[in-house]
Chains A and B, each alone.
Chain A
Amino acid sequence: MILCRPRRSALGCGFAVALLLGRAQAAQGAPDLLDPATRAVETHLGNGLVVLTLEDHATPVVSFQMWVQVGSRDETRFTGLAHLFEHMMFKGSENVLPEEHARLIEALGGRVNAFTTRDFTVYHTDVSREGLPAVIGLEAERLAHLSITQSTLDSEREVVLEERRMRTDDQPEGRAFEALFAIAFVAHPYRWPVIGWRSDIAAATVEACREFFGHYYVPNNVVVAIAGDFDTAQALAAMRASFGPIPPAEEIPRNPTLEPEQRGERRADVEFDLRSPLLVAAWHAPASGHPDAEPLDVLSEILSDGRSSRLYRRLVWKEQTALAAEGAYWEMKDAGLFTAYASVRPGAKIERVEQSLFAEIDRMAREPVSAAELEKAKRQLEVGLVNGLATSHALAARIAYDVVTFGRIRPLEERLAAIRAVDAEAVRRVARSYLGPSQRSVVRVVPPAAGAKSK
């Protein structure tokens, strides 16, 4: 389960192989890549389900991913329902016993898992080509005939409560980001954690799960991506036969709430028994698909990527007050955040870390970045794109993400061109527009004594 999607890993979610490289041209300038995703075929079934296929026989793996366009932002009564429901998808259907889905995939030598974000729920399976027909059959079976019973719900909610304790309750970082989203958003559903509040997980009902299934687990709310070693015609025939008969929904309900403008800094302390306090901050930034995404990406590279980055050099290397310090742009469907993170060295003053962190961010708005830093950041982003092209899994994730986010597969060239077009003025402009103190939310995770002192 992930919280939302940092841009860098969105880039890093590259694709499989069979990438054609213009080797003569590669000697100069940026890498000349033919984006394999441009070969992807988009097929619409009669019930609205979108299938993306990208065949590539240079890899021994096929990745099958079902992206359901529902996340915690769609929850109404019980927070955490989207994620709890993700777990219920493994608890049996008309022709498959509880837990049998995963066991059958593993018996094919496949790897299966799922995750939920604020915007999506993703079920992914990587397997050899021989296993694909069974994967398609099993995936359609649970979309068409899921069983939700009181007893499976009761045992699975305990599993999810353990997951919550592991990721959030007993983890300083989990605590920090849960509190950060809760103050950065006051109205939009992004304010609650994907895993949900404990009391809601404990109270969620079978009826609520069934209603959720009926509303969102419908073919016209699903994008399937298949990438790697498989036969497109056979896969599409299997998809039509198994997913084709599932009826679509007429309407898919969405929460209408938009986040109002933030006027003034917000702060919160979380007390936790820890040696290395944490400081996290968030500024409102554009939702996915905005042209300011690339300047924000470049800005976060300059702040955070590598030992020569500004935050590492100042907080970790020079002042030695932090063990890690970074900033990142996170895009989501309805809104974005620019977040900053620093883990404070035991014994160092968190106030000093905060001062330096925000000074570096303010400096982005004041002074233009140097030409050398700009070039370095662009190069780092470009190499990240190339590195993200290595596996079928990453390829399937990227084309599915593009389609559910932008409504189309964005060619790599388009992304590279947007990165190359960023200049120092654009970086300064986005810093000024988005990263002001009055747009900021700040959370500190500190030991109880320090928390008491600062009150």
Chain B
Amino acid sequence: MSAARTPRPSRGLALLTLAAALACASPPPPVWKRPPPPVPDAPVVPEGALHRSELPNGVRVLVLEDHRLPRVSIGVTLRRGSASESLSEAGVALFMAELMEHGAGRRDALALANAVDQLGADLSVGSGWDSTTAGISGLSRDLDALLGILGDVVLRPRFERSEAKRVRDEALAGIEQSKDDPATLASWNAAAAIYPGHRYGLPREGTRASVARLDADAARKLHRRFFVPNDAILWASGDLDPAAFAARAQEIFGAWSAGPVAELGPPPPDPTPGERLIVVVDRPDLQQVRIILCHEGIARSNPQRVGASLMSDLLGGGGFSSRLMESLRAESGLTYSVGSGFSMRRWKGPFSVSTFTRVAEVRRVLDLALSVIERFRVEPPGEAELVPARTLAIGEFSLGLETSNAVTAGLVDLDVYGLPEDSLDTYRSRVRATTPAEMAELAQQLLHPERMAIVLVGPAEKLVPQLDGLGPVEVLKP
């Protein structure tokens, strides 16, 4: 496809070129200095491998056949998650999800664990901001048993009181333990700084106060709200027969009766924060300061999401080639890593730049990071900077879809957000269509260094004196 665009030299021209090369007699450039060869777009889904259908009760079924390995992954995804919780019940979706793994159908917690482990299988129920998924994977010859367990977990979780207490106590301990991790502390406090009063401002795990209130009834109630067939995607990938799977799915999930789909939570304030604010989370023991700069980003449904991601890659990406990496690591050795990214959700999740440095260099890193972001607005990337970034984005995309599990997850994600089914197929051409003008426009629209929240986790006594003139500072305990 790309070859068709390449002009083919005539034989005469080729001979001339050869003669010129011989005349100069300079050594050929090293292989890595030659222009990278065009990479044809391999299809994301092999021809005929994807099967979509729907059960009479509204369950959408998505099967990706892949017989290369004797294994299968199957699951049910609902299009509601932690963002649908009230503030006072923050954490209930993850609590419910964990409790679903503690007994279902005829099996109590230990019996369910044994049934899963005896198959060498992996059962996992979890919630994101916008979806909740129960999934199980194992060997394809155990498909029937795996489906039976999945059906129990999705339709007949036991929600026993004794297990609910266990799970709640573990969740409370987990919240405390997370505060030992400087990176987690930084991201929790960054969210709190820019989304006060909104669900996005609390950790998905909830808080001590909200989790302490959770019990078996709360989990059961949420399960009733979330798990309705008319909002469910049943997905499967791997070594299975789509027709047989659909038939078995009807037996297991066919009697599941429809109900109202749970409401979405309200959108967060926008823009946020209105002005620069600085939060220092005091950890006097730390030698290194965790740093997050953030404000609102964009929603997953934003039509400019591909361009916005590319813009973020150019600014801070995750690879070695971004402007922030160049400035903070390669040129100055101030950090080991710096990244930037949009957390795209149903509503506008945060855009953040994260890094870390030794305590004494915090001001230098903040000044540099803010000036790199500001400069990105004033001198946005031109075509020369954009070319390798596009190739990297396309390459990362292809590398990320090597397994059928990854492709299935990508397709389910599109369904969760109601995005076009062909979004994976069109992704690469949308990346190629990005322009310097678009980057310049997005930088103006989406980067606001002057009103970023700045969150630092480290020894407040040594940090606060470095922050003069940057904005109002609030010091918090972890």
One of B89-97, B136-144, B258-266, B270-278 contacting the partner: B136-144
Residues A130 and B39 in contact, CB atoms below 8 Å apart: yes
Residue ranges of B at the interface with A (Cβ–Cβ < 8 Å): 30-32, 34, 36-39, 42, 67-71, 101, 109-110, 112-114, 116-121, 137-141, 166, 169-170, 173-174, 176-177, 179-182, 239, 283-288, 319-321, 326, 329-337, 356-358, 387-388, 391-392, 394-396, 398-399, 402-403, 405
Q: CB-CB < 8 A to A154: which residues of B?
A: 333
How many pairs of A and B residues are in contact by the CB < 8 Å rule? 223
Q: Of B31, B69, B180, B330, which one neighbours A389 at CB under 8 angstroms?
A: B69
Residues B31 and A137 in contact, CB atoms below 8 Å apart: yes
Query: How close is B32's CB to chain A, nearest CB, in angstroms?
Result: 4
- Tell me whether A387 is interfacial, beta carbon within 8 Å: yes
Residues A163 and B398 in contact, CB atoms below 8 Å apart: no
List the B residue with the shortest CB-CB distance to A111.
Answer: B399
Residues B402 and A391 in contact, CB atoms below 8 Å apart: yes
List the A residue with the shortest CB-CB distance to B121.
Answer: A383
Residues B402 and A109 in contact, CB atoms below 8 Å apart: no
Residues A18 and B68 in contact, CB atoms below 8 Å apart: yes
- Tell me whether A274 is interfacial, beta carbon within 8 Å: yes
A-B CB contact pairs (8 Å), 16 listed: A19-B69, A26-B141, A58-B68, A108-B391, A109-B394, A127-B395, A131-B36, A154-B333, A159-B329, A170-B182, A273-B284, A275-B177, A323-B174, A345-B170, A383-B71, A391-B403
Residues A320 and B169 in contact, CB atoms below 8 Å apart: yes
Query: How close is A127's CB to chain B, nearest CB, in angstroms?
Result: 7
Query: How close is B311's CB to chain A, nearest CB, in angstroms?
Result: 16
Q: CB-CB < 8 A to B118: which residues of A?
A: 372, 375-376, 379
Residues B398 and A128 in contact, CB atoms below 8 Å apart: yes
- Bound CA–CA A375/B20 (angstroms): 71
Known: A33-B70, A308-B114. A107 touches B391 (CB 8 A): yes
List the B residue with the shortest CB-CB distance to A276.
Answer: B177
Q: 11 extra interchain contacts, Cβ-Cβ under 8 A, other than A108-B395, A131-B37?
A: A26-B140, A111-B395, A141-B30, A165-B287, A166-B337, A275-B176, A320-B170, A346-B176, A379-B118, A390-B69, A390-B402
Q: CB-CB < 8 A to A109: which residues of B?
A: 36, 39, 391-392, 394-396, 398-399
- Tell me whether A386 is interfacial, beta carbon within 8 Å: yes
Query: How close is A288's CB to chain B, nearest CB, in angstroms?
Result: 24
Known: A346-B173, A376-B118, A383-B120. A275 touches B139 (CB 8 A): no
List the B residue with the shortest CB-CB distance to A448.
Answer: B285
Residues A162 and B398 in contact, CB atoms below 8 Å apart: no
Residues B117 and A21 in contact, CB atoms below 8 Å apart: no
Most chain B C-beta atoms within 10 Å of own C-beta, residue among A109, A169, A307, A380: A109
- Bound CA–CA A387/B72 (angstroms): 10
Residues B117 and A305 in contact, CB atoms below 8 Å apart: yes
One of A98-106, A216-224, A247-255, A356-364 contacting the partner: A98-106
Residues B286 and A170 in contact, CB atoms below 8 Å apart: yes
Q: CB-CB < 8 A to B179: which residues of A?
A: 275
- Bound CA–CA A382/B402 (angstroms): 22
One of A257-265, A309-317, A326-334, A407-415 contacting the partner: A309-317
Q: Of A95, A141, A345, A376, which one neighbours B117 at CB under 8 angstroms?
A: A376
- Tell me whether A172 is interfacial, beta carbon within 8 Å: yes
Query: How close is A396's CB to chain B, nearest CB, in angstroms?
Result: 13
Q: From residue 171 to 201 of chain A, which have CB atoms closer than 8 A to chain B?
A: 171-172
Residues B69 and A99 in contact, CB atoms below 8 Å apart: no
- Bound CA–CA A33/B39 (angstroms): 32
Q: CB-CB < 8 A to B395: which residues of A?
A: 106, 108-111, 127-128
Q: Of A155, A165, A307, which one neighbours B333 at CB under 8 angstroms?
A: A155
